[in-house]
């Protein structure tokens, strides 16, 4: 392992700073005293469970620890081994996942469990290369599992790690360049002993001490080596590229209610955004609003469709969605494809957050007799004279 040469200064810059071994030892000493107690972590002296490490790492992608903890406990209680998860029905897994978002993770989780159970005898590969061959496991997750579960000298770099090392080495370039340099530095810093504990320590340091705002530098075991602290740059690093405004897509959701109060639901295609989840029927999601003439022929069942006042807005990773909700009541169930379900039974279905927003909006609007649905089609604009804009729809399905 390439180390940093010892120097009389307390800098951690590669080539003239503290040895990597000294930095690792100092951080591991801190970690042994201040480590977070998380349900997927092995206790000191215990071997890590690869299944728990893998499950937690998939759940933690783009999601906070506080959000993940109850989901993780519920999954482990219901499916205590990777074999149990592999034998579960996909819809059960999607239902248990609802609320965590990024539902492709749940589909890949189930698929990956199947591969491990059916082809690998319920044993996880113990190398980064072997882990990378599994569904839903990328470079970061493979490195994290290899280091934490199997003690391999791998370097998983997440947002916390990136922030800590950008400050430690005062990396002032834009984020893309910083990410590349952090990857190199992380490899050099990885100790041969306790690599999993080391990187969990860096993650804990980033989450509890080297925070994005208001870092507690006086509590940091690396404060004496931190170039950003020496130069007064901690609040500025890592530098972020200016965020681009997310594009907005538009759609129409059809809230269809039969005479018994049951609502029409359907399952989305397995592939694509929210694949396999349950939804309120609707149009595709595209870049410009729907006109009345375009939307109504796509209703799932004939009826007197009225627009509900207001609408639903939801933010996905790469775009924002604006939905108009049309409602029709006293419909004939046999005329529509899908499943009819009373709202009090929605919890039995894997409804993603955006569809729960649609349901909440419709139920509130229809429960207010003093504010009836609008006779006109509200946000759905009637097409004006002239040609339709020559733009292709952006599929959200």
**Domain span(s) for CATH 3.90.79.10 in the chain:** 248-366
Tokens representing residue 155 in the block: 């370097």
**Contact by Cβ (8 Å): 300, 336:** yes
Digit-by-digit pLDDT tens for the chain (397 residues) are 333 332 333 334 443 357 899 999 999 999 999 999 999 999 999 999 999 999 999 999 989 999 999 999 999 999 999 999 999 999 999 999 998 988 999 999 999 999 999 999 999 999 999 999 999 999 999 999 999 999 999 999 999 999 999 999 999 998 888 999 999 999 999 999 999 999 999 999 999 999 999 999 999 999 999 999 999 999 999 988 777 889 999 999 999 999 999 999 999 988 889 988 899 999 999 999 998 889 999 999 999 999 999 999 999 988 999 999 999 999 988 778 899 999 999 998 989 999 999 999 999 999 876 544 554 443 444 333 333 333 333 333 3
CB 265 within 8 A of CB 255: no
Peptide bond into 164 cis (omega under 30): no
Whether residue 57 lies in the annotated active site: yes
End-to-end Cα separation, the chain, in angstroms: 47
Residue ranges of the chain that CATH labels 1.10.340.30: 20-230
Q: Are 76 and 55 in contact (CB under 8 A)?
A: yes
Residues in the chain: 397
CATH topology of domain 248-366: Nucleoside Triphosphate Pyrophosphohydrolase (3.90.79)
Tokens of 123: 């044993």
Helix locations, the chain, DSSP H: 20-34, 50-60, 65-78, 82-87, 90-97, 104-119, 128-132, 139-150, 159-168, 175-189, 195-208, 227-230, 292-295, 353-366
Q: What fold, for 20-230?
A: Endonuclease III; domain 1 (1.10.340)
Fill in the DSSP letter of residue 380.
S
- Choose the catalytic residue: 46, 57, 279, 344: 57
Cα 142 to chain centroid, rounded: 17
CA 273 vs CA 14, 107, 108, 190: distances in Å: 43, 11, 13, 37
The angle formed by the CA atoms of residues 364, 95 and 135, to the nearest 5 degrees, is 135
């Amino acid at each position: 392992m390439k180390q940093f040469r010892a120097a009389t200064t307390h800098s951690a810059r590669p080539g003239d700073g503290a040895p990597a071994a000294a930095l690792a030892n100092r951080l591991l000493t801190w970690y042994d005293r201040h480590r977070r107690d998380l349900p997927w972590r092995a206790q000191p002296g215990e071997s890590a469970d690869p299944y728990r490490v893998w499950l937690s790492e998939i759940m933690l992608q783009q999601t906070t620890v506080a959000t993940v903890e109850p989901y993780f406990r519920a999954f482990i209680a219901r499916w205590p081994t990777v074999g149990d998860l592999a034998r579960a029905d996909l819809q059960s897994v999607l239902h248990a996942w609802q609320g965590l978002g990024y539902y492709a993770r749940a589909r890949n989780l189930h698929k990956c469990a199947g591969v491990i159970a059916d082809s690998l005898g319920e044993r996880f590969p113990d190398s980064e290369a072997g882990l990378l061959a599994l569904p839903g496991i990328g470079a970061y997750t493979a490195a994290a599992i290899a280091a934490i579960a199997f003690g391999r000298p791998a370097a998983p770099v997440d947002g916390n790690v990136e922030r800590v090392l950008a400050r430690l080495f005062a990396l002032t370039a834009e984020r893309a360049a910083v990410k590349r340099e952090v990857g190199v530095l992380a490899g050099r810093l990885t100790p041969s002993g306790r690599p999993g504990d080391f990187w969990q320590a860096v993650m804990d340091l980033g989450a509890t001490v080297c925070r994005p705002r208001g870092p507690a530098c006086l509590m940091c075991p690396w404060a004496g080596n931190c170039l950003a602290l020496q130069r007064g740059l901690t609040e500025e690093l890592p530098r972020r590229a200016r965020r681009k405004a997310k594009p907005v897509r538009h759609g129409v959701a059809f809230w269809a209610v039969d005479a018994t109060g049951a609502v029409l639901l359907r399952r989305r295609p397995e592939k694509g955004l929210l694949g396999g989840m349950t939804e309120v029927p609707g149009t595709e999601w595209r870049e410009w609003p729907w006109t009345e003439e375009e939307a109504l022929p796509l209703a799932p069942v004939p009826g007197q469709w009225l627009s509900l006042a207001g609408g639903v807005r939801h933010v996905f990773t790469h775009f924002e969605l604006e939905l108009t909700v049309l409602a029709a009541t006293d419909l004939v169930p046999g005329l529509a494809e899908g499943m009819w379900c009373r709202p009090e039974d929605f919890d039995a279905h894997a409804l993603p957050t955006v569809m729960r927003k649609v349901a909440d909006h419709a139920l509130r609007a229809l429960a207010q007799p003093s504010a009836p649905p609008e006779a006109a089609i509200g946000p759905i604009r009637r097409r004006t004279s002239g040609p339709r804009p020559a733009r292709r729809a952006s599929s959200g399905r």
